[in-house]
Amino acid sequence: MITLLSKNKVTPEKEAEFLKIASGLVEATRKEEGCIFYELSKDIEDPYCYYFVEKYVDYKAVEAHRASAHFKKWVPMMAECRKEPSELTELDSVL
């Protein structure tokens, strides 16, 4: 199982726009074959920091997600809402 953590520091004045775009991405991604879990979480200590928490059956499912029409549409739109590029951590389940 592959887990991805995508950290997104959002510009305060663009927060509502970010959440609207992210909502569409979350809804569409949860329907993907190979997606086990997909959620947007907010940092408790930093109110403008969000994490996409993603779990896929394998790396092939991750690649399919990145190739999807909704990913290609919404991810560039979210970039306009961030203070800096997102940070991605990729994890492979051990136990």
Q: How far apart are CA 82 and CA 33, in angstroms?
A: 28
In Å, how far from its chain's centre is CA 68? 13
Average pLDDT over residues 31-50: 97
What is residue 71's predicted lDDT score, i.e. its pLDDT?
A: 95
pLDDT tier at 90 (50, 70, 90 boundaries)? very high
pLDDT single digits (tens) 53-86: 999 999 999 999 999 999 999 999 999 999 999 9
- Beta-sheet pairing, 2-9 with 35-42: unpaired
The H or E element containing residue 9 is strand 2-9
**The whole model's pTM is what?**
0.92
Strands 87-92 and 35-42, by their bridges, are: unpaired
Can you list the domains of the chain with their CATH numbers?
Answer: 2-92 (3.30.70.100)
